[in-house]
Structure formats: C-alpha cells, structure tokens
Amino acid sequence: MYAARGVLAVHGERGTAVVPANRVAWTPAGFTHQHRAHGDTDMRIVFLAPSLARLVPDRPVVFLASDLAREVLLALTGPRNYDTGADAPHHTRPARSRLHRVLVDELREAHEQPLHLPEPQDDRLRAVSRLLYENPADNATLAELGRATGASTRTLSRLFRDELGMTFYEWRTQLRVYHALVLLADGHDTTQTAYACGWANPSSFIAAFTHIIGTTPGRYRAERNAGPPG
C-alpha cells in the first residue's frame, strides 16, 4: 500500500502505522486491518502472489520507499496523468510479472522505518493515550497525566517501556509527528502545524520531524503537493 500523495494511517491489532508518501506499508494475508486517508490522497495498492509474498516479512511492516520502488508501484497501478485525468496504458502480463519481482527485490533491500503508534492494552495507558490523541498539543508531564488517570509516574513509565516498547516522550513525539503529517496534508503550514502539535517553536518541530520522516516539513509538504509524475 502506497500513498503517491497524502498520508495513510493503517490501523491493525497492534496499533496504527502512519504511511506518508516516502514509505510503503506491507500487510500479509490474514492480518485484519483498515486504513484511513488524510488530505488529498492518491492511494495505490498492489497485491503479491503467494510465491512472492513468501519473500517479504510475514508480519505488517512499513518500509522506507526507494525511488525505484515508488516508480514500480506507480507503473503497476497505472499512474494517472494529472493534466488530462487519463490512466496510463496497462502493461502486459509478462511485464507486470517482472515489475512485481523488481518491487519485491526492492522491499527485501529496504530498511524498515515505521512511524508506529502501538495500541495500549492497559486501561491506564489507554486513558493517557486518549487524552493525548484528543489534544496532541497538551504539554502535561507524565506525572500530571498520571494524576489525571489514577496512576503513578513510575507505573506509567514501566507500562510504556514494557507494553509499547518506547518511553513516554518517544511515544508522544511519534503521536505528534502523526498529527503533523495529517495537518500538513490538509494544507497547514509549518508554523501552524508546530504550535498545533505542541512544539514550543517551529525549529524544534522541524528537527523532530526531520529526524523521524527524513525530510523537513516544508520540503515534505512541497513534494506531496506536487504529486506523482504523469
């Protein structure tokens, strides 16, 4: 699954994987999931035959998409000509088979680079995550959130580490970057997005966003608005 532009959120049993346009989400057969698009999204889906699916992970994964992988995905899904609205010509079956093999080769070499928000199971973690989902700009400390949800700082810290595999601050940063991607996809600029997601200033937001996504918010927004080639 690939968003040629816009942002996808893929929700599964283990949480939410955020898939901006420089990543590819792979979901094997048998994994229940649903997805939601944010902004003006151009979503492309490619299905792999069992013989090829066996060559990639047997679990949901988000990969950093290479330039070649993106071009192959666009070719397989019939990239649209945005000037005329017409679909590109279909490839022959042998050509599609070769493109599928190239795509699998690229995914096997790609780095896993998830922007993943694990789904809490503990009721106390659920309460904290619900508060921050509703208001990602909330700068409450873990102690303050603990008092609001009836849990100690020590308990919440342990739960974040043991259940979600990250610290509270790492999780909150991932959550904020997810919301930032949604706002950028909806047309908000860098400064608006920074403050709406809880950063004290745009430069702090740019640093955090670049560290996780691999490009600055401004460049990401410009590239996504440009859309895929026709």
> How far apart are alpha carbons 39 and 158 in whole angstroms?
36
Domain boundary among 115, 141, 162: 115
The pLDDT tens digits of the residues spanning 76-131 come to 887 553 443 444 456 788 888 999 999 999 999 988 876 778 888 899 999 999 99
Specify whether 19 is located in the same domain as 107: yes
Specify whether 214 is located in the same domain as 132: yes
First to last CA, the chain: 19
Specify whether 32 is located in the same domain as 110: yes
- What's the DSSP call for residue 86? P
Residues 6+ positions from 116 with CB-CB distance below 8 Å: 15, 16, 17, 18, 62, 174
Tokens, residue 40: 């003006």
CA separation, residue 178 to residues 14, 94, 213 (Å):
16, 39, 10
In a domain, 230, yes or no: no
Query: Residue 149: how many CA atoms within 13 Å on its side-chain side?
Result: 23
> How large is the C-alpha radius of gyration of the chain?
19
Specify whether 213 is located in the same domain as 172: yes
Residue 102: in which H helix or E strand, if any? helix 93-109
Domain boundary among 76, 93, 115: 115
CA separation, residue 38 to residues 1, 19, 198, 210, 227 (Å):
14, 10, 20, 20, 14
Q: For position 20, what pLDDT does the model report?
A: 82
pTM of the model: 0.74
Domain count, the chain: 2
The pLDDT tens digits of the residues spanning 32-83 come to 888 888 777 788 889 999 999 999 998 888 888 888 998 999 898 875 534 4
Which of 17, 9, 15 lies closest to 38, judged by CA?
A: 9
> How far apart are alpha carbons 225 and 56 in whole angstroms?
31
Across the chain, mean pLDDT equals 85
Q: What's at 225, amino acid-wise?
A: N
Domain boundary among 115, 142, 170: 115
How many other CB atoms are there within 10 angstroms of residue 15's CB atom?
16
Specify whether 10 is located in the same domain as 44: yes
- Containing domain of residue 146, as a range? 120-225
In a domain, 93, yes or no: yes
Collapsing DSSP states into helix, strand and coil, what is residue 203?
A: helix
